[in-house]
Amino acid sequence: METESVYLFNGKRFIEHANFKEFKDQIQKKLNYNDDSAESLTQFYENYYEKKGNSDDFNELNRTLFENVMYGRLTNIFVHKISDPSSLGIDLFKKAAKKIIDSFKVSAPITIQDLMSVNGFYLLDGMSVPKIGSNFIAGFDYKQDGSQVTEVRFLVGRSVTLKKAKETYPGYMLGAVEINLKKKICSIFVKHTSNVLDEGDEAIKSVQGYHKFILQNFVLPLTINLVESDAEARKEMIEKDRQGMFEFCKSLYEELIDDVRTEVLTSAEKDVISVTRKIVRILKELGKKPTLEQQSILSTKINYLILGLHVENNISDKEMAQKAVEKDLLGFPTNIDYKNSRMNRSSTGTSVKSKPIAKSETLYSLLTDFEKARMLNKWSLSWFRDPKNKNEDEIEQTSIESTSFGLHIRFKGRNFLGKELIQHVIGTIDQCRS
């Protein structure tokens, strides 16, 4: 008499990192399977196993959960440039991957250690790591083209004590890495960790510290070289990044404001010329006459102030965002932080994701300085969630900062993000950075 196998979902600590609705929608699309009776991931998994058993589709169920967690709420993304190689030989890759996996295997439950294969695994449904301070691998996969590995992904975690309000409870701090050798991009995903009370390695508790931990333990062991590992290359990369971010931000702003600027400046052109001349005459009588360059800057600043007043009084935030939709833009800038030609730091804009910087009154008094800067250290950009079906009410705001270790992209909202949105943002930023 055969013993009936019983399945129990053992990944309860991953639930707070997942989005159940999105997970169900994906399973509906991929497997044409729906379960309206399930009220949680636990129930969904256990119902599925009871109906389908451990079928080939069960692996797809686990892959979907893996991606749901990896691309869901790991809101800090560090984007690195890979200098070489553009691919990895499968045999050497598997040797390196085995060393990485073996070094973390001890933290996994004994019952699933044998499942941690160099051929890939998704263990979120069976992973329970109760020991505080333990680091583990919850999922790993890769793609190859012939004998060459082209993409690698790891989802990793650390068992910690978390605090919510006045209560403490055991949970996971998660991170991930996605290496695309064809595109020469290495992306590391980390969740904000302010509610972690773990008394272990303090460095890992910070976003930057956990990023470094993943870099050292999952990227460098694969003999992947990053551009910033070389001092001279890093210096050049930072300069190119900041130039690229400036051009990207400026192009979005100019597309958004171009038609209004042409209308306003054309209407005010004669009066601006007249006012500029009067001011120059007054300044000449008071002392030294402004140079031709200074006169041109004065005229430009007057134009920009007039433009700013017109925008502030006549175009609402929603109308400006709708213009971005109509012009088929990726989104719109909401904040800029830069150094001017005198190395003074300036910042303008808002933290409100639905308020384009083109509506910031202060911007127009700083615009000549900003255009001269040619580099942008940090800025915020609101992206339309669906690039193919843009809607000014469906946006996600990011801050983008150029640092000595690459670009740091932070999603500011609390919504589920998703693989498509994250890869769209990373790909767009990478194309603009150089």
Residue 189, pLDDT above cutoff 80: yes
Task: Report pLDDT for 1.
Answer: 37
CA distance 322 to 307: 19
| Strand segments (E) across 316-367 | 331-339, 345-349
pLDDT, position 346: 53
Closest CA to 300 of 371, 243, 230, 235: 371
Residue of 386, 397, 263 lying closest to 325 (CA atoms): 386
Q: Report the pLDDT value the prediction gives residue 76, as an integer from 0 to 100.
A: 96
What gap in Å lies between CA 85 and CA 181, rounded to an integer?
7
Tell me the per-residue pLDDT of 306-327, one tens digit each, with 9 for 90 and over: 888 888 888 888 898 999 999 9
Reported as a single tens digit per residue, the pLDDT across 58-96 is 999 999 999 999 999 999 999 999 987 777 999 999 999
At 130-170, the pLDDT tens digits run 998 899 999 999 999 999 999 999 999 999 988 888 888 88
Sorting pLDDT into bands at 50, 70 and 90, what band is 343? very low
Q: Are 118 and 105 in contact (CB under 8 A)?
A: no
- Tokens 């909202």, located at residue: 413
Least confident of 32-41, 126-135, 263-272, 360-369: 360-369
Residue 191's pLDDT is: 87
Backbone φ, ψ for residue 35 (5° rounding) = -145, 90
For residue 44, give the amino acid letter: F
Could you tell me which residues are beta bridge partners of residue 93?
none
Taking residues 187-215, what's their average pLDDT? 82
How many CB atoms are located within 10 Å of the residue 314 CB?
10
Rounded Cα gap, residues 249 and 401, in angstroms: 12
List b or e across 262-301, with b for residues whose CB sees 16 or more CB atoms inside 10 angstroms.
Answer: eebbeebeeebeeebeeebeeeeeeeeebeeeebeebbbb
Q: Please provide the distance, in angstroms rounded to a whole number, between the alpha carbons at the two ends of the chain.
A: 67
Say which DSSP state 218 is in: I
- Which tens digits make up the pLDDT trace of 15-65? 999 999 999 999 999 999 999 999 999 999 999 999 988 778 899 999 999
**pLDDT tier at 418, thresholds 50, 70, 90:** very high
Q: Mean pLDDT, the chain, as a whole number?
A: 88
Report d(CA 82, CA 184) in Å as an integer: 5
